[in-house]
Amino acid sequence: MNELTVLIGLPGSGKSTYCKNFTPDIIVLSTDGIREEKFGYKFNEDIRATVYHELLDQTIINLQNKRHVVLDTTYLNSEISRNSFLQKMKESVDRVYCKAVVFDIDIDECIRRDSQRQKSRRVGEEVIRNLHKDFCIANSEGLLNEIITI
């Protein structure tokens, strides 16, 4: 069984902190990581689509190689983006088990935690409030096999 875990949570909700406890056999992929490691940018909206396609490719390759992949990105908070991504996984990888881990953290707490991060890692209140509008935990039309809330 191929396993894909999607983290759902606002900036500051603790997704990346949660990933720090993983053993090295788990592949954690993030848009931030790809943007920095592959393209050398901390922020760059112009390459958003390119980074997204790279995330898709790397997820598929790792799942096909039977690795457990965890996606640590706010991109998948929106139900439309998440469903589209999960649909592509179901089409590209045999028998993939998709799990969501939801970080149900109050928006004001996310904003507070974000404000305490080092400046280069801060997302800012406006971005968090905008992402909150799209934040959706509904069972993605049967595409998710399991949902855990922490």
Say what the alpha-carbon torsion angle 101, 106, 112, 118 is, to the nearest 10 degrees: 10
Q: Please state, in angstroms and as integers, the Cα–Cα distance from residue 122 to each residue in 8, 11, 37, 110, 145, following that order.
A: 18, 9, 19, 11, 33
**Measured distance CA(87)–CA(148) in Å, rounded:** 20
Does the footprint of Mg ion cover residue 16 (CB under 5 A)?
Answer: yes
The partner in contact with residue 12, picked from Mg ion, ligand ATP, none with C-beta cut-offs of 5 to 8 angstroms by kind, is ligand ATP
Binding residue for ligand ATP (CB under 6 A) from 2, 5, 6, 9? Answer: 9
Number of residues counted as binding Mg ion (CB under 5 A): 2
Does the footprint of ligand ATP cover residue 15 (CB under 6 A)?
Answer: yes
User: Using CB under 6 A as the criterion, which residues of the chain lie in contact with ligand ATP when the complex forms?
Assistant: 9, 11-17, 74, 113, 116-117, 123
User: Using CB under 5 A as the criterion, which residues of the chain lie in contact with Mg ion when the complex forms?
Assistant: 15-16
